[in-house]
Amino acid sequence: MTNFQSYLLALLTAIIPHVCSADIYKVLWPEEAQKGNAGWNAVKIVNMTSNTVFDGSMSGVYTQDLSGLKKKIEVAQGVTYLTHHSLDATAVGGPAVIEFSGSDITFRAEAAIAVNPFEGAAPAYTYDVIYKVDVTTGEVLETTLVASSAEEANAAIAAGFTVDLEASNLDRTGAGTSFQSYANNITNEVNADIETNGGLVTKQLSNPDGTSLLRKEADGTVHIGQNSIVLADEAVSASGNDEVYSSSGVLQLGNNDQHRTVIKGTLEVPTPTLGSHAANKSYVDKGDAATLKTANKYSDGIGAMMMAATQVTMTADPGSKLNIGFGLGSLSGENAFAIGLTGSSNDGSFRYSVTASYSDYVDEVAVGAGLSWSLR
């Protein structure tokens, strides 16, 4: 596959939903039961595909300032509250990872922030949290609090947090399952993007309506679109060169008069057969040479006609009252002949001449006539 094909495939796979292989990870979250011990808030990320391990930190999660949220709730309820951080408050195996790119991991932790009344019957405020953390430093880069009621959402918004409200009429505390899908469904707000630094294996990328967007045919050619632009590398092309062409037979570069096509290197085109075809240098050079040869032969034929016509008058007897003559001329292989009539008046006061010449290449007859008078 050429560099152009590889680039195009990488570009399309970044924006089109498809099934692909990815590395498998296991995340071992902080040991919250061992708070106070060294390294309790560390995180271990294991790439089970490449058998590599990274020891990181979640320290920023546990030191995040919740005083603003606590204060807003205390003002609203009129009682004292306590705050609590946890990445495993529900003991269901830890947060669900949403994305891991570079050194940044994005995950959702259930009941990760709890703001509970110190005493009394005031309501507790509990939030799932979507964190984005740089695991090399433990710094929290982004925080989104997920509220289950408008009251919880308003308190978090007033404290300056980004908030998602996930209100539901159902209360479910049983077993849950997390999964990942790249398909559009009734919960999507935006399309999911895919990042991969490894391989991609797929037979075809399709549009939502099922038509082909990108596919590889059995002959090795790569087709873009349903009625497609075709990419064929030298290993499978008929010419032995990398090829780009249209399956419909017409490939247009640009779609308005302001577009330019710039080519670096050599452009080769076949010998034209129509007036609208571009011409290659060999064809133009041959045409120029043929035109020059024709022009030279034409001028040589005219020169031969002039030489022949000249001979008619040069061989005439100036003392004769009437002469008829013939002349021949040749120049660079072109031949001509001429016939002419010359004479003078009885009193010799004026002379006249009429001459006609012909060349087979020029295929025209040239005629000339003249008069002259004796002034003294």
3-state secondary structure of 13: helix
**If we measure between CA atoms, which residue out of 109, 114, 139 comes closest to residue 27?**
109
First to last CA, the chain: 96
Question: Where are the CATH 3.30.1300.30 domain residues in the chain?
Answer: 300-373
Token representation of residue 160: 């300056």
Cα dihedral 143/148/150/153 (nearest 10): -10
Give the separation between CA 233 and CA 361, rounded to whole angstroms.
53
Q: Which residues contact 274 (CB under 8 A, 6 or more apart)?
A: none
3-state secondary structure of 373: strand
Q: 300-373 has which CATH code?
A: 3.30.1300.30
**What's the pLDDT band for 146 if we cut at 50, 70, 90?**
very high
Which parts of 294-363 are beta strand (E)?
322-331, 334-344, 350-359
Q: What is the C-alpha R_g of the chain?
A: 47
Give the separation between CA 222 and CA 236, rounded to whole angstroms.
10
| Contact criterion met (CB below 8 Å) for 48 and 25 | yes
User: Residue 210 has what pLDDT?
Assistant: 78
Token representation of residue 95: 């947060």
For residue 33, is pLDDT > 90?
no
Of the two residues 143 and 229, the one the predictor is more confident about is: 143
**What's the pLDDT band for 298 if we cut at 50, 70, 90?**
confident
Question: Over the stretch 224-277, which tens digit does the pLDDT of each residue have?
Answer: 888 788 888 888 888 888 888 888 888 888 889 899 988 888 877 888 888 778
Hey, what amino acid is at 358? Y
Question: Over the stretch 48-72, which tens digit does the pLDDT of each residue have?
Answer: 988 999 999 999 999 999 999 999 9
Lowest-pLDDT range, 18-27, 119-128, 162-171?
Answer: 18-27
3-state secondary structure of 6: helix
User: Residue 74 has what pLDDT?
Assistant: 93
Give the separation between CA 247 and CA 236, rounded to whole angstroms.
16
Hey, what amino acid is at 306? M
